[in-house]
Structure 1
Amino acid sequence: MADQRDFYQALGVSRTASQDEIQRVYRKLARTYHPDVNKDPEAEERFKEISEAYQVLSDPETRRRYDAFGEDFRRVPEDVDPETWARARAGAGAGARAGGGQWRGGGDAWRDVDLEDVFGDIFGGARGRGWGPAPGADQEAELVLTVEEAYQGGQKKLALSGGRQIDVTIPAGVTNGQRIRLAGQGGRGGSGAPPGDLYLIVRIADHPRYRVEGRNIHATLPITPWEGALGATVSLDTPGGETKVRVPKGTSSGRRLRLRGQGLPNPRGTPGDLYAEVRIMVPSRLTEEEQRLFEELAATSSFDPRRSR
C-alpha cells in the first residue's frame, strides 16, 4: 500500500491489533487532536485522519475487507475473491492488460470475461489506452451534522459545488469521519460511461451541551447541593430525548454517571454510552429562608472538603 493511506499507521497500531487496543488508541489520539482541545492548524486534519481510520478498523467486517483489498476495499464488489483480485491486480501492475486474465465469479474459475468490465477503475492503467469510455471519478464532500442529526438520522439537503443540491438519507448513529456512499452521484463519465460515486465525510459539529467521542456522548448534569448530598433522580436532556438519571447519595461535582447504551446508536452492534458529568450549582440569590437554612447548615456541619481528601 505504498503511497496510499494506511489506516493502521494512522492510528499507530499493528495489523494484528485487537479491537480493544484500536479503540483505546483512538480515544487517546482523539483527545489529543480534537480541534476543541488542540488549536494547531494541522490538528483538525489529523483528527479527521484518525477518525476515518477508526471508523474502518473498528468494524470487523469493514476491517476484513480493508485487510483484503487495501485502499480499494470500498469499490471491490462483495463477491470478489481476495486471491483472485490480488493476482489480477499484480498482473495489471506488471503492465499486462487487465483482460489478459479473465474472471467469471468466486473461487479460481477463469473464463472469457474482461476484468476491466468487472472491476471498473480499480485497474488504473486501463484508462487512456483506448480500452473504452472512462467511468466518472469518485468524489468526496463534507457533511456537517448536529449531534441530534447524527443520533436520529433522517433526510438532509446538501449543497454541492457547482450549485447542485442533493437529498441525503442519513443513517441513525453516524460518527465523526464516517463515509456515506452515494452511488452514481460523483463525476460524470465520458462517452456514456457511468458516473462515479460521491462519498460524504461526516463531521459532527460542536454542540453547546454535548461532546461526542466515538459513539460515546458526554454531557453536563447540573444538580443542587442537596440533590448531591441526599441523592435524587433528576431529568437530563439527551439527543434521544429526556431521560432520568439517578444521582447517588454523596455525589460531588466532577463525578461521571454512565448511562449504558444511550450514546450514538450502532446499526451493526453495541451503541455508545452517555456520560453525565455532575456539576453542583448554587442559587445566585437566596431568599431569607434559604439564607437562614444555609447558615444553620454551616453552623451545624463539620464537613470540610479541604481536609477530607
Structure 2
Amino acid sequence: MILPVFEGTSQVNKKLNIKIPAGIEDGGRIRLSGKGHPGINGGPQGDVFIQMNIRPHPRYTREGNNLHCKASTDFVTAALGGKIEVNTLNGAISLKIPEGTQNGRKFRLKGKGVTDRKGNTGDLIVQLAIETPQNLSERQKELLAEFAAA
C-alpha cells in the first residue's frame, strides 16, 4: 500500500507493508506509530491511522463475529432428511438436514464464524432454501399427486 507519510519534516509517498489483523471489522483502525506529522518544536512524529473499509463478500454477510450465508437443497432432502455440503471459511463441512425441514430454517454452526483480534470466534448461521423442481416428468407428477391425496 502506498501512503503519504512523513520522514523527518518532509511528506513522501512510501510503499508500506501493513499487517491487517484477521477479523478486523468494517470501520476498524490500524495505527502506524511515528509515521504521521512531525512533532511541534522538534517533538516526536505523530501516528497515522488507517480506517478499514471492508468490501462485501459474495457468499457471507457479517454481524459482529457471526457470519450468515444461504444454502440450498432439494425438496426430497428437506422432506426425508439427509446431508448437504456447506462452505465455511475453513473448507466444506457436511450439515445434517432433519426430516421435515422447512424453507428458511436456520442452522447455527458453532465456532465457524470470524475470529476477532481478542481470539473470540463467532458462529456461521446457514439459512436453508428449498428448491422445487421445475421440469417434472409425467410419472413424477403422478407420484406427487398420489402423495398429496394420501
Q: Which of these residues, 127, 144, 148, is aligned with residue 298 of structure 1?
A: 144
Query: Which amino acid is the alignment partner of residue 141 of structure 2?
Result: E
Runs of 4+ with >4 A deviation: none
> What residue ranges of structure 2 are gaps of 5+ in the alignment?
5-11
Deviations 1:178-225 (A, max 9, x none): 222222222233565322122222232112211111111110111111
Give the corresponding residue for 1:211.
Answer: 61
Q: Distance in 2 between matches of 1:263 and 1:168?
A: 24
Normalized per residue, the structure richer in helix is 1
Q: State the SS of the aligned residue for 2:52.
A: strand
Structure with the larger RCO, 1 or 2 (CA within 8 Å, 6+ apart): 2
Give the corresponding residue for 2:26.
Answer: 176
1:239 and 2:89 matched: yes
Q: Residues 188 and 194 of structure 1 are in contact (CA less than 8 Å); yes or no, is this contact kept in structure 2?
A: yes
1:227 and 2:70 matched: no
> What residue ranges of structure 1 are gaps of 5+ in the alignment?
1-157, 304-309
Q: How many pairs were matched up?
A: 142
Q: Distance in 2 between matches of 1:192 and 1:242?
A: 56
Q: State the SS of the aligned residue for 2:46.
A: coil
Q: Residues 254 and 279 of structure 1 are in contact (CA less than 8 Å); yes or no, is this contact kept in structure 2?
A: yes
CA-atom RMSD in angstroms: 2.4
In structure 2, relative to structure 1, the CA distance for the partners of 1:282 and 1:189 (3 Å cut) is same
User: Taking structure 1 as the reference length, what is the TM-score of the superposition?
Assistant: 0.41
Give the corresponding residue for 2:38.
Answer: 188
Q: Distance in 2 between matches of 1:159 and 1:230?
A: 56
User: Taking structure 2 as the reference length, what is the TM-score of the superposition?
Assistant: 0.79
Identical amino acids, percent of aligned pairs: 35
Normalized per residue, the structure richer in strand is 2
